Structure 1
Amino acid sequence: MALALDDAAQNLLFREAHTAQTFADTPVSDEQIHAVYDLIKLAPTAFNLSPLRLTLVRTPEARERLVQHMSEGNKQKTRTAPLTAILSTDLDFHERLPELFPAVPGLKDSLFAELETREQHGRFNAALQAGYFLLGVRAAGLAAGPMTGLDAGSVDKEFFGDGKQRTLLVVNIGLPGEDAFRPRAPRLAAAEAVTTV
């Protein structure tokens, strides 16, 4: 009774969802990813910042360019997933602020004029959006395999040569394959993680 979502939705998004290690051969369409994005773009961010960018890696050539920068344990699953997405932070996100957050004129040139500030705010807010993206993938009935085991700087150079995007993580996406899930590891109980003051 404490949650608005019914048990089926809770199971889909949380209880029965796991990080996938293998995927079925079933393709993931652009329409599915666009539907996921149209849902998760509503995630809360500071000043309505929208710095998250998705680069869909579909061609075998692009896949191999990415695989070479993944850690050894992530290479094969990245090579064989139906779809892999590079989630990155757009460092020029502030250019859209007059349109996305018109309530504070001049915000683009005051708070976000410095690259270091943009990178800090962009990375934090893109990470918020990335968490929602993983939930969106689950809401579409797909499994996600998020990975940070990669050389992010090399991925940036390989895919974002202009230096205007910074890789956050790489996510394999698809229907789960055979033996896709490891046993769930323990989590902290609410009594261990929640403090009331």
Structure 2
Amino acid sequence: MPDWRPGVGAVVAFTGHAYVCSDRQPARERLETLGCNGFGGATLPAVAMELAGPHGWIDCLDVLLIAHGRGLQAPALRARPDLADHPRAVHARLTRGEVTTFGYADPHRRDVATVGQGPGDLPMIGVEVDEPGRGSRIFADVLDLLPPDLVLASVAPGNARSLRAALRAGFGIIASVQLFVPAAESDG
């Protein structure tokens, strides 16, 4: 499949099948030799290292989630350009296009939500809360902000609190995703 977004590749694994999204056209035989398959093998470390190359960048393995925006008239989140340098926003700009940062109106709250252009031009979000336990609210508040179309999110499976919060807010699990940037694009 084509790149996840320009310069960023991905392995997207569903139940029983997986896709390598890369404009570099990796050799199928080589990937199969490394164990790449739709039954967990597509996310093996050797496969990720082959796709990224020895000096490429490999992101963590994430759960890929999907929901529908709700497009409320008065969402709780506001555009917060002052949060553009937040580490969550910096990371979002590496893997998504046209990233905007949102937060609550109180300028002292450092909760941040990013909305950017993901695969298939679908909005893709990321969130980080300043205080543990408020995650389900910010996931729901992002959905309130977005129009009633499909919305993607990704969460590290080991971040159980965040994953539970996304599920409570209405997201459903559809796949796993592991992003990578080949060495030529990553500049180390």
Q: TM-score range by the shorter chain?
A: under 0.3
Select the structure that is richer in helix. Answer: 1
Kindly indicate which of the two structures has a greater share of residues assigned to strand: 2
Higher relative CO (Cα under 8 Å, sequence separation at least 6) belongs to: 1
Greater Cα radius of gyration, structure 1 or 2: 1
Q: TM-score, normalised by structure 2?
A: 0.26
